[in-house]
Amino acid sequence: MATNLKLQYIYLYLISALGLVSCGSTTTKTVEIKGIYGNPKPLWEKGYKLNELGVNAIFVHSGSINQDMIIRARAEGAKVYAEFATLNGKGYVDTHPEAWAINDKGARVEAATWFMGVCPTEPGFRKYRFDQLRDLLIEYDLDGVWMDYVHWHAQFEDPEPILPETCFCRHCLISFSKDYNIRLPDATTSEKAEYILTNHEPAWRKWRCEVIYDWTTNMKSIISEIKPNALLGLYHCPWDDDEFNGARERILGLNYDLLKKTVDVFSPMVYHQRMGREPNWVEDNIVWFGKKIGAELDAYPKIWPIVQAYNEPGIVSKEAFETVLRGGLAGKSTGVMMFTTHAMAEDEGKTEVMKKVYSEQRERR
């Protein structure tokens, strides 16, 4: 009698487990975005159509967008999003030295290997960028704008990142002092920086995060005014809270609790090979990030990562590309894209991988 009862329990357990597996196989996560980053021209030149490859969104640098591109992409079933190089001061600071970021030694920061930041509080630069955004939204019918280079001057896309202490220019020192009611000593710039980092570091770090958040609120306000249904996206550093001694908040100024109040879609830049990580790291990071911001599949903010197809440094194999593309759809992610269209289009193996992965995804209608 006891043996029969035990067998019945085992039978019921197995049926229940099979039911859970069956439910899991039929309840497929809805993928909203199957994207590419970059001009679609390399694919079009090879005779491909976006919808034939499963692509339903293109993310293109704002300076490369034109009406013909938008018309064709929409005809092939794709949404059009503009990447907006927000705090990249390359070129601008050369003719507007007042916007040059200043380090804790009181000197102008040096350009990182390929990136030149800017002081995010300088009034002239802020007006310049916000005017550019308005012009972009008025000229083109976009589905959204993705902020890029949204951090204080630094470079994070390398195994050994460049992480200077900034910005101690006149605008920043005055704003910090006023916003936090902290009187700074009558001293040199380097002495003021030392005083802040020694006596008011927590307030300084908090204030810097608020400055970055202010950029997102202004961007969101402009978008809501001109194109209310367009999304505000954010390309951003994918580090967790502890990496490089908390440098994502401490140096870059990225506080997710603040940013998720205004950002519609987060796009972690999980460039595995460039950052010296293994392909499987992408999935781990996206799962972590979803938990970090409390993401839900059917609510904002959403997660649409950007993964690496580009062969630098070294070669990203088609197998690694498939791993990171699938990893980008892990956890609470409902979309993915790759960097770059050209790198993927020039490799037939990667093109076929993208087509295969995208064709497997159930798309929201």
* 28: pLDDT strictly greater than 80: no
Domains annotated on the chain, with CATH: 30-360 (3.20.20.80)
pLDDT score for 114:
79
Structure confidence at residue 97 as a pLDDT band (50, 70, 90): very high
pLDDT score for 24:
33
pTM, two decimal places: 0.91
Average predicted confidence (pLDDT) for the chain: 92
Structure tokens at 82: 């503009």
Mean pLDDT over 85-103 rounds to 96
Mind listing the pLDDT tens digit for each residue in 268-317?
999 999 999 999 999 999 999 999 999 999 999 999 999 999 998 999 99
pLDDT score for 363:
62
Contacts of 67 (CB under 8 A, 6+ apart): 140
Report the candidate in 246, 254, 308, 263 with the shortest Cα–Cα distance to residue 281.
308
* 45: pLDDT strictly greater than 70: yes
Contacts of 237 (CB under 8 A, 6+ apart): 151, 156, 248, 252, 254, 268, 269
* 135: pLDDT strictly greater than 50: yes
In whole angstroms, what is the distance from residue 145 CA to residue 127 CA? 17
* 106: pLDDT strictly greater than 50: yes
pLDDT score for 3:
43
